[in-house]
Structure 1
Amino acid sequence: MQTDALRADNAVSSSLLAPRDRTPGWLWEWALLVGAVACVSLAISDPRPGQVMVWFANAFGAVALMRLPKRQWPAFLVLVALVLWAAHGGFTLVSPNVAVSQAGGLHTAWVAFADVPGYLLGMALAALWLERLPALEQAGESPTVQAQVLLRGALLPAMASAPLGGLAGVLALRGDWSNMALNWLVGGTIGSVAMLPLVLLLATRGVRSAARGWFQPVHVGMALISLSVVLWSATSLPKPFVVMLAPMVWVAVRSTLLNSLVVNGLIALAMAALIRVGVLLPPPSSIWWGDAVYYISVLATLLPGLFLAVMSEGQRRMTQALADREARALSLYRATPAMLHSIDGSGCIVQVNQLWLDTLGYQEAEVLGRHIADFMTSGSARYARDVVIPQALHDGRCNNVEYQFLTRDGAVRDVLLSAVWEFDADGRPERSLAVLQDVTEKKRLQARSHFAEHDALTGLPNRVLLHDRLKMLCAHHDRHNGLFAVGFLDLDHFKDVNDVYGHDAGDALLQAVARRLQGVLRAEDTVSRLGGDEFVMLLGGLSHSGELSTLVAKIMATFAEPCHLGPGPDGPVVQVAASLGVAVYPGDGTDPQTLLLHADQAMYEAKRSGRNRCAFYRRPVKAGRGHPL
């Protein structure tokens, strides 16, 4: 609730300066409000002729002008002049202490009218100068801007209108111009300092909204306590102004800006009333400015509380803004559509987001404070501890590290982790922020795609991928010429291995042959398993037939060594042999089907010739003729 009050307790915003077209009735409302405040000023001010009158009305008039388009200013000022004349004239008539001196003077109506030009000038100048203040919207949170507001809206307008006020005093009361002008300056400044910040705030927020924000037991209670301290100190202490400052400081520190401004205004009204009834009296002085100097003490009592309230509000706003930004950052962190976690320097989890929890099936309370390794497979935990974390602490980051995490029910999730580390001033790791991408489904699909084109036992390309690569080789060499060969290899007596040692041994033999063929072939070559004990090799990039002969010899040499089939050192050892048939592009065929067929035929020719050898494809010769078919 306190946070909501702070957010609602806004200072003057730029919307205050936005011109607003209003009806004539609204002009009358503002004018009557100015007149009502003028009556309050007259009622509570020192009634002795030539004394300081604390004038609160100019702050209301200046803010009213700021709320109006300038085309309506003349009408408003005329209305205000009439209302002020009526109010001032009424008090002049009913108050015998303010009546025209017997030494001679103007009629009471002219006494009232003489003051009006000074009031209007002060209002207009305050409105004009405040409108030109660039950072007016920061007045409620910046002491520097608030000082500019008081300078432009209170002191300077009072100084500019003081000569007119002094002249009015001379004409109406036959007084001393210097004394009258100084009293006008002091009274106008005190009234505007007390009311201008509050009126600006009310104009921005609206009176109803401000009233809802202020009429709370705590605010009303603080205001009553502050007024009680003012009344007690004024009636009990010889120098009460220092004590009067205390409740304003208390409210400024402990309450909202709105409440502080209301209390400041109430205390200013109370002090003016106490001076009127003779409780706070200026000390006897032989100098003409003595009373004005005494009133400056009133001003000095109001200003510290006002500026402290503004400073406190700025601090509260800054604190609230930081809290809001932190809350937004935490909300974004939790809602980020990627798994996130943060760990401290010891590896314990300090924060996780919702997707991390949902993916692994945990509640936040089950995760925070536990070591990150508790959620990894044993292999990933060792890899993180021995390799990744030391390197990341050295580099300050890690990228796309493959880990396996365990869900709450024991399932394994494959993730890619990238992280950055934060270090303290001494270079010690404080925490890391890690982003995890769940690639379990992606790896499953990749595995399915892999096995669609690869042999599950040996990992070699299968028939599908073989035909695709062979087709590409034919197309490439058709455009660029050159040679490549297709080798068709079949193990000799493979069935005997299965019959004697079992199918596991046969599978081990096929895996061993695959590894040997991969080891002897070049990077640009392909070896694939068609099925059973049949292997096909694509030998590309041949520059001449001698290079092919050398490569074939290396392939056949791989079968010279016995093959240990395991498992363990006591597993069977067999001597493996193979028959290899070779067809060469383009002489033995220019398309995949023909090349495979001719390589297969050459392989069977090698078997008929005694096995464990290589045969190159030869075109059949028609009987009785000396040329190929």
Structure 2
Amino acid sequence: MVFEVQQTGAMRPRARSVRWMLLWAGVCAAMGLLSLMVSDARPGQVIIWMANPVGAVALLRLQRSQWPAMLAALLVAVWAAHVAYAWGAGPEFQAWISPMTMAWRAGLDVPVHLLEMMLSAVMLDRIRALEHAGERAAVQGMVLLRAALLPAALLAPLGGMVWVGAAIGDWQVLSLNWFIGHTIGTVAALPLALSVATKRPRVALAQVTEPLALAMLLGSVAVTLWASTSLPKPFVIMVAPVVWMAMRSTLVATFAANLLVAASMAALIRYGVLLPPPTSSWWGDALFYLSVLATLLPGLFLAVMSEGQRQALQVLADSESRARDLYFQTPAMLHSIDAQGRIVQVSKLWLDTLGYAEADVLGRHVADFMDPASARKAREVVIPAAVRDGRCDNIDYQLCRRDGTLCDVILSAIWEYDEAHQPVRSLAVLQDVTEKKRLEARSHFAEHDALTGLPNRVLLQDRLKMLCAHYSRHKGVFAIGFLDLDHFKEVNDNHGHDAGDLLLKEVARRLQGTLRAADTVCRLGGDEFVMIFSAVEGRTELQVLATKLMSAIAAPCVLGEGPDPPVVQVSGSLGLALFPEHGSEPQTLLTHADQAMYAAKRGGRNRYEFYRGAA
């Protein structure tokens, strides 16, 4: 709506606008009457006029289509203020000008006031941040420049002409008086009018009537009265209470104090307590009134700057609070550490995943929540390297949950530095991969031997099918080797099953080390191994590979690391079958290689044999 005032009931918008117009017209009339009462309203004197800023703010808060009605109300209000003052003034004033003459002169004067109100409202309307006018230093400077100095300066010549038309004095003196009085009045009243208009009146009144603010207001008036009657140069002292209030109280209360100080100085000038120094020039009194204006400005601008700083600090605090909340509530595992590795911030998901409370982790070293291997890796390798390089990526860690279980994570982090390029803190993103690794492990052990880590029968069958299909299409030769260790049972009987397991692991390692990169070795179970020799040229090349395998297996093997570990020497029997000579199907090749292996055993063990057919 046209003005942000909360109303109760079902009042229609038009009725609310009319009521609002009448309210501000009444305030404008009161400010005009106050201006005349505290200033010397006799012809040719400076009147500190404080009504026009109220009218400008009233217009500013309305739509342009409502301006004619508001201007009519303001015209009546300003004219009524002049007439009321003339009828209520004493015989001394009426000796200068009669009430009827004052009413006639006001009829000429009021239209110029309305022009100034409209000009101020139009200029203020260009400030898009109007809702915060009076609360931001930059905006306040624009307000004072556009709405105080420019309208008064532009309309001062016209106002002087109106007064000359009433046969009151010289045009240049009257124009200068108009400019001075309207500038001081606008500086005194406009900030408060804007602040009240952009707040609820009750909120503004509550801020002004707070005990501390009320005491400061009364103190400002008291200091103004005391300084003007006791000091030869009072203006410097008059500034102090408003400056003090600008630093300690609210913005609205400071603007109210500024208005009271301006009204007090006008009254003191009227009653001869503050007198302009004698001068012979027509513009000499203007220097005196510049001192009055200079008394009002420091507190005004300091209040705006202090409020702007408070707002900036509050915005910064709110922004930091929102950032902390966003960090904490982010649906990801996050933690931040300082240059010493201490945790300074964590997300809720990080805490929930590991089962800790925020107070349990803040300030502690991040390694305190890792298993020993990860902690050593973090302290000695990862953190120093990340601080140096500015980041780290895809680091595997194991974190310890509160219940003692381990959580596998992958961590990536970046570091923040200060102006001296010293590390300040990091932001780390962690991905919980515990379930993924569990599934990968399950998948791995479904296709690999748990003891040796070699592919098992399942993976062997898959690879054999692929090779048979590939070589059937593209031609070529590959071979299958079926190996069985000789007298393996005696190792288990003489040295125990643990020694037998160590022997199987060592044989697996030797087989992998002897075969070519494209070859594969699998464990079927017990002491049986199957090898796939990819892309062999023929029997000659295969014989060379088989001889190397027999030699590698037959080398002595130390079983264990104790003071006197057993040393065993075993051999193997190897059967070989070639594709497609001995079969073109996986199971056929395995069967023929197995038959060849038994032929090697019957032939004396520690040897290899090719498949020779049914015989």
1:317 partnered with 2:311? yes
- Name the residue aligned to 1:503: 497
Give distance in 2, aligned partners of 1:595 and 1:352: 59
Q: Share of identical aligned residues, percent?
A: 61
Question: C-alpha displacement at 1:517, in angstroms?
Answer: 0.9
Pick closer, same or farther for the CA change 1:223–1:474 going to 2, 3 Å: farther
1:473 partnered with 2:467? yes
1:56 to 34, 46, 50: 50
1:576 partnered with 2:576? no
Give distance in 1, aligned partners of 2:111 and 2:572: 120
Q: Does structure 2 conserve the Cα–Cα contact (< 8 Å) formed by 1:520 and 1:554?
A: yes
- Name the residue aligned to 2:115: 121
Question: C-alpha displacement at 1:134, in angstroms?
Answer: 5.4
- Name the residue aligned to 2:408: 414
Map 1:126-141 onto structure 2 (within 5 A).
126-133=120-127, 139-140=133-134
1:334 partnered with 2:345? no
- Name the residue aligned to 1:294: 288
1:271-312, CA deviations, whole angstroms, 9 ceiling, x for partnerless residues?
A: 223333443343444443344433222211101111111111
1:18-68, CA deviations, whole angstroms, 9 ceiling, x for partnerless residues?
A: xx9863343333333322322222222213332111111111111122212
Question: C-alpha displacement at 1:567, in angstroms?
Answer: 4.1
- Name the residue aligned to 2:212: 218
Give distance in 1, aligned partners of 2:194 and 2:538: 96
- Name the residue aligned to 2:222: 228
SS of structure 2 residue aligned to 1:491: strand
Map 1:246-325 onto structure 2 (within 5 A).
246-325=240-319
Q: Does structure 1 conserve the Cα–Cα contact (< 8 Å) formed by 2:4 and 2:199?
A: no
Q: Does structure 1 conserve the Cα–Cα contact (< 8 Å) formed by 2:87 and 2:99?
A: no
Give distance in 1, aligned partners of 2:17 and 2:131: 26
- Name the residue aligned to 1:443: 437
Give distance in 2, aligned partners of 1:288 and 1:273: 23
The AA in structure 2 aligned to 1:602 is A
Map 1:378-397 onto structure 2 (within 5 A).
378-397=372-391
Question: C-alpha displacement at 1:155, in angstroms?
Answer: 1.2
Q: Does structure 2 conserve the Cα–Cα contact (< 8 Å) formed by 1:92 and 1:112?
A: no
Give distance in 2, aligned partners of 1:520 and 1:555: 6
Q: Does structure 1 conserve the Cα–Cα contact (< 8 Å) formed by 2:251 and 2:307?
A: yes
Pick closer, same or farther for the CA change 1:417–1:235 going to 2, 3 Å: same
Map 1:73-92 onto structure 2 (within 5 A).
73-92=67-86
Pick closer, same or farther for the CA change 1:183–1:379 going to 2, 3 Å: same
Give distance in 1, aligned partners of 2:482 and 2:235: 110
Question: C-alpha displacement at 1:193, in angstroms?
Answer: 0.7
Q: Which moved more, 1:237-246 or 1:481-490?
A: 481-490
- Name the residue aligned to 1:464: 458
1:166 partnered with 2:160? yes
Q: Does structure 1 conserve the Cα–Cα contact (< 8 Å) formed by 2:124 and 2:147?
A: yes
1:241 partnered with 2:223? no
Pick closer, same or farther for the CA change 1:15–1:160 going to 2, 3 Å: farther
Q: Which moved more, 1:465-474 or 1:418-427?
A: 418-427
Pick closer, same or farther for the CA change 1:423–1:64 going to 2, 3 Å: closer
Q: Does structure 1 conserve the Cα–Cα contact (< 8 Å) formed by 2:82 and 2:102?
A: no
Q: What is the TM-score of this pair, normalised by structure 2?
A: 0.89
The AA in structure 2 aligned to 1:26 is W
The AA in structure 2 aligned to 1:591 is E
1:206 partnered with 2:203? no
Pick closer, same or farther for the CA change 1:476–1:214 going to 2, 3 Å: farther
Q: Does structure 1 conserve the Cα–Cα contact (< 8 Å) formed by 2:207 and 2:250?
A: no
The AA in structure 1 aligned to 2:29 is G
Give distance in 2, aligned partners of 1:401 and 1:108: 89
Pick closer, same or farther for the CA change 1:39–1:477 going to 2, 3 Å: farther
Question: Unaligned stretches of 5+ in structure 1?
Answer: 1-13, 622-629
Question: C-alpha displacement at 1:189, in angstroms?
Answer: 0.7
Q: Does structure 2 conserve the Cα–Cα contact (< 8 Å) formed by 1:105 and 1:174?
A: no
Q: Does structure 2 conserve the Cα–Cα contact (< 8 Å) formed by 1:421 and 1:431?
A: yes
Q: Does structure 2 conserve the Cα–Cα contact (< 8 Å) formed by 1:100 and 1:172?
A: no
The AA in structure 2 aligned to 1:513 is V
Q: Does structure 1 conserve the Cα–Cα contact (< 8 Å) formed by 2:133 and 2:194?
A: no
The AA in structure 2 aligned to 1:486 is I
Q: Does structure 2 conserve the Cα–Cα contact (< 8 Å) formed by 1:349 and 1:368?
A: yes
Task: Tell me which of the two structures has the higher relative contact order, counting C-alpha pairs closer than 8 angstroms and 6 or more residues apart.
Answer: 1
Give distance in 2, aligned partners of 1:98 and 1:345: 79
Give distance in 2, aligned partners of 1:374 and 1:222: 56
Question: Unaligned stretches of 5+ in structure 2?
Answer: 6-12
- Name the residue aligned to 2:547: 553
1:461-518, CA deviations, whole angstroms, 9 ceiling, x for partnerless residues?
A: 1122222222222333333332222222222222222222221121111111111111
1:381-431, CA deviations, whole angstroms, 9 ceiling, x for partnerless residues?
A: 433344334433442333233333444454444333333444556655454
Q: Does structure 1 conserve the Cα–Cα contact (< 8 Å) formed by 2:86 and 2:99?
A: no
The AA in structure 2 aligned to 1:542 is V
- Name the residue aligned to 2:8: none
- Name the residue aligned to 1:11: none
Q: Does structure 1 conserve the Cα–Cα contact (< 8 Å) formed by 2:391 and 2:412?
A: yes
The AA in structure 1 aligned to 2:373 is G
Give distance in 1, aligned partners of 2:70 and 2:344: 63
1:535 to 529, 532, 537: 529
SS of structure 1 residue aligned to 2:166: helix
Question: C-alpha displacement at 1:118, in angstroms?
Answer: 1.1
Question: C-alpha displacement at 1:352, in angstroms?
Answer: 4.2
Question: C-alpha displacement at 1:359, in angstroms?
Answer: 4.2
Q: Does structure 2 conserve the Cα–Cα contact (< 8 Å) formed by 1:66 and 1:131?
A: yes
Give distance in 2, aligned partners of 1:138 and 1:109: 39
SS of structure 2 residue aligned to 1:116: helix
Q: Does structure 1 conserve the Cα–Cα contact (< 8 Å) formed by 2:42 and 2:96?
A: no
Cα-Cα RMSD: 3.0
The AA in structure 2 aligned to 1:208 is R
Q: Does structure 2 conserve the Cα–Cα contact (< 8 Å) formed by 1:241 and 1:297?
A: yes
Pick closer, same or farther for the CA change 1:390–1:138 going to 2, 3 Å: same
Give distance in 1, aligned partners of 2:33 and 2:556: 118
Q: Which moved more, 1:127-136 or 1:217-226?
A: 127-136
Q: Does structure 2 conserve the Cα–Cα contact (< 8 Å) formed by 1:93 and 1:108?
A: no
Give distance in 2, aligned partners of 1:118 and 1:428: 65
1:602 to 596, 599, 613: 596
Give distance in 2, aligned partners of 1:41 and 1:551: 114
SS of structure 2 residue aligned to 1:584: strand
Give distance in 2, aligned partners of 1:594 and 1:404: 46
Q: Which moved more, 1:90-99 or 1:267-276?
A: 90-99
The AA in structure 2 aligned to 1:523 is A
Q: Which moved more, 1:276-285 or 1:423-432?
A: 423-432
Give distance in 2, aligned partners of 1:266 and 1:476: 100
Q: Does structure 2 conserve the Cα–Cα contact (< 8 Å) formed by 1:105 and 1:173?
A: no
Q: Does structure 1 conserve the Cα–Cα contact (< 8 Å) formed by 2:134 and 2:194?
A: no
The AA in structure 1 aligned to 2:179 is L
Question: C-alpha displacement at 1:98, in angstroms?
Answer: 4.5
Give distance in 2, aligned partners of 1:92 and 1:289: 28
